[in-house]
Amino acid sequence: MFKYEILKVCGQSGARIGRFTTPHGEIETPVFMPVGTAGTVKGLSPEELKEAGSQIILSNTYHLHLRPGEEIVKGAGGLHKFINWDKPILTDSGGFQVFSLTKLRKITDEGVHFNSHIDGSRRFISPEKAIEIQQALGSDIMMAFDECTASGTDRRKSKEALDRTLRWLDRCDKKATGEKQILFPIVQGNMYADLRIESIEKTLPYAKCGLAIGGLSVGEEKPVMYEMLDALRPYYPNNMPRYLMGVGSADCIVEGIVRGIDMFDCVLPTRVGRNGMAMTFEGDITIRNAPYKDDYSPIEEGCDCYACKNYSRAYVRHLINAGEIMGGRLLSLHNIRFLHRLTEKIKDAIRADRLLDFRREMLANYRIKGVTT
């Protein structure tokens, strides 16, 4: 029920366009996947996401396990029916969220003991439990339960986490039976190229139709992330999609695709949107700031999203500063559409065998760190 076909390889960069077939439809890669942590992409309806071009969304095992509980979702007929989304769904295993709890969790070989961030109750998730939750949710793509380490973690601890992730992967694989869901294993290794290579070599036997790169975009500088992707690229399988977890800025998506990545996800577009920031092909702009109070142009010239076709920067700024929910909704919608437009332009460049030219042209006009004030 899962298949990946390569439709075009860029002669200039080696990046590719692919068709990933799942039980709930086809996904054309490269693809950005909006994040609906608790079963909804914040502030946006499924219909709005589809209109913006979303092919697949993510939800999170940890959050749905705590609230409302996987049995509630299963009773509704699974996550697709529960949230009214008939396209593919990927569920994160919860490993990163547990990692983020820091002082509220204890990691052992058996699994992770942690305190709920909601009510403080003591909980436990093992690799088997993470798969059981995802099976109850009924997502198309399940993620293996892994141990993520922060940037700056020393080599010894990074190797311990890598080894534990591999042991957990074997247990996840034994539990992840059935044809309607596929398990993506996750490569770890922190910022050590040799550990990354060791991880991917030992992970590949478990990769049936997808492979994820985890533990990046966790505080390291972007050139370090690119260095790790460069080290991994010779080891990627050709017959399945490669997924870089937690990455959603325009420059990182372009650089990732040049380095052979097919799938991306991040909460960034909706998070910054709710805080008054718009993503554009010239970089991020802070709409809430004073220069836009009488700017009657769209959020971004040439954008075909609902927000840009109907409203001005001045109006969106007014909504954000007045605390109106609509402001965050409009910017979230624009930002998600922007990332879909970006991947569409990248696919056009791949078809024309000029992705490296596109990258150079785009980044020449893109303010990576600059924010208009």
pLDDT of amino acid 102? 63
Beta strand residue intervals within the chain, DSSP E: 3-9, 16-22, 25-29, 31-34, 57-60, 89-92, 105-107, 112-115, 122-125, 141-143, 182-184, 186-187, 211-213, 242-244, 263-266, 277-278, 283-286, 367-372
- Give the integer Cα–Cα distance in Å for 301 and 63: 37
Which residues lie across from 5 on neighbouring strands?
Answer: 19
Q: In what order do the strands lie in the sheet with 283-286?
A: 277-278, 283-286, 367-372
User: Residue 338 is part of which domain span?
Assistant: 274-372
Same domain, yes or no, for 279 and 258?
Answer: no
Same domain, yes or no, for 222 and 75?
Answer: yes
* 265 counts as catalytic: yes
- Give the integer Cα–Cα distance in Å for 276 and 331: 7
pLDDT of amino acid 115? 86
Same domain, yes or no, for 78 and 24?
Answer: yes
CATH no. for residue 227?
A: 3.20.20.105
Q: Pick the closest to residue 218 from 193, 180, 242, 244 (CA basis).
A: 244
- Tell me how many domains the chain contains: 2
What is the residue-wise DSSP string for 44-109? --HHHHHHHT---EEEEHHHHHHTT-HHHHHHTTSHHHHHT--S-EEEE-SHHHHHHTGGGEEE-S
Name the CA dihedral angle for 78, 84, 89, 93, rounded to a multiple of 10 degrees.
-50
The residue out of 221, 246, 265 marking a domain boundary is 265
pLDDT of amino acid 215? 94
Same domain, yes or no, for 242 and 300?
Answer: no
The residue out of 236, 265, 294 marking a domain boundary is 265
- Give the integer Cα–Cα distance in Å for 292 and 87: 37
Same domain, yes or no, for 258 and 288?
Answer: no
Q: Is 279 in contact with 335 (CB distance < 8 Å)?
A: yes
* 92 counts as catalytic: yes
Residues 6+ apart with CB under 8 A from 137: 59, 61, 64, 70, 73, 74, 78, 79, 91
Q: Which of 163, 265, 353, 357 is catalytic?
A: 265
- Give the integer Cα–Cα distance in Å for 289 and 160: 46
Q: Which of 92, 140, 146, 284 is catalytic?
A: 92
Same domain, yes or no, for 67 and 101?
Answer: yes
- Give the integer Cα–Cα distance in Å for 283 and 367: 5
What is the residue-wise DSSP string for 284-313? EEETTSGGGTT--S-SSTT--SHHHHH--H
Same domain, yes or no, for 22 and 112?
Answer: yes
309, burial (CB in 10 Å: exposed 0-12, middle 13-18, buried 19+): exposed
Same domain, yes or no, for 57 and 188?
Answer: yes
pLDDT of amino acid 369? 53
Residues 6+ apart with CB under 8 A from 180: 1, 23, 138, 140
Residues 6+ apart with CB under 8 A from 138: 73, 74, 78, 79, 80, 180, 181
Same domain, yes or no, for 195 and 280?
Answer: no
Q: Pick the closest to residue 246 from 95, 110, 121, 126 (CA basis).
A: 95
pLDDT of amino acid 2? 98
Same domain, yes or no, for 256 and 294?
Answer: no
Same domain, yes or no, for 191 and 234?
Answer: yes
Same domain, yes or no, for 144 and 205?
Answer: yes
Q: Is 164 in contact with 147 (CB distance < 8 Å)?
A: yes
The residue out of 265, 282, 306 marking a domain boundary is 265
pLDDT of amino acid 105? 83
- Give the integer Cα–Cα distance in Å for 188 and 159: 9
Q: Can you give the pLDDT of all 373 residues of the chain as single tens digits?
A: 999 999 999 999 999 999 999 999 999 999 999 999 999 999 999 999 999 999 999 999 999 999 999 999 999 999 999 999 999 999 999 877 776 766 678 899 999 988 888 898 999 999 999 999 999 999 999 999 999 998 999 999 999 999 999 999 999 999 999 899 999 999 999 999 999 999 999 999 999 999 999 999 999 999 999 999 999 999 999 999 999 999 999 999 999 999 999 999 999 999 999 999 999 999 999 999 999 999 999 999 999 999 999 999 999 999 999 999 999 999 999 999 999 999 999 999 999 999 999 999 999 999 875 433 2
pLDDT of amino acid 371? 37
